[in-house]
Amino acid sequence: MVRAIGDGLERLLYTRPVPVTTADQLKALLRWERGSTRQVAAVLGVSQRTVQRWVTPKAGSQGRPNPGHEQRIAELVRARWQPLIRARRRAAAEAGGVVVHTRARFGFKAGGGSSDDPRLRRVTGRLNGAVTQQIFAALDADVSEEQHELILGRALGHLYFREAGHRAHGLHVTLKDIDFIEFALQ
């Protein structure tokens, strides 16, 4: 399942892109462990020789981690990538809010005479710190993408469709089928 909202929040927290290839991720792990293949092996739960084979592959040998190890390497790098910067950016987002820009399918549940057909819309709005805290709390709790969509749909519905509570009282907005989503600090 694609976790568009969670991935968008993760991109917000980084100032430099996380290494994409497994080789670059291994280089980052080695740099953090001061070049010690023994330390990297201990962190990954494999032998030192296995890490050495991954770092310096030779013809005819298994020079590449299996998919399970690749996933573990990627998770470790993401978790350790720019921790102080991530913490500062998250604190700023939770205090001052974020700007969200998305193209998604928005549907409505309202009183009689209104259309509830979902429509693809491009919406940009500023979410306050309280809503941003809810979204990050949901990310920390590892809730489903549907729960993220519910939180974000309610916030964008209030902001964009109800004009911060000035019109369309009782309108319930649903958010589905996110085409893209971007978050930015204020």
Query: Hey, what amino acid is at 7?
Result: D
Residue 182, beta-bridge partner list:
101
Report pLDDT for 11. 85
pLDDT < 50 positions in the chain: 1-2
Q: Which long-range contacts (CB under 8 A, 24 or more apart) does 40-46 make?
A: 43/76, 44/69, 44/72, 44/73, 44/76, 45/72
Are 93 and 136 spatial neighbours (Cβ–Cβ below 8 Å)?
A: yes
> What span, in angstroms and rounded, lies between the C-alpha atoms of 29 and 80?
9
Report pLDDT for 1. 37
CA distances from 103 to 14, 41, 59, 81, 178 (A): 22, 43, 47, 28, 6
> What span, in angstroms and rounded, lies between the C-alpha atoms of 72 and 74?
5
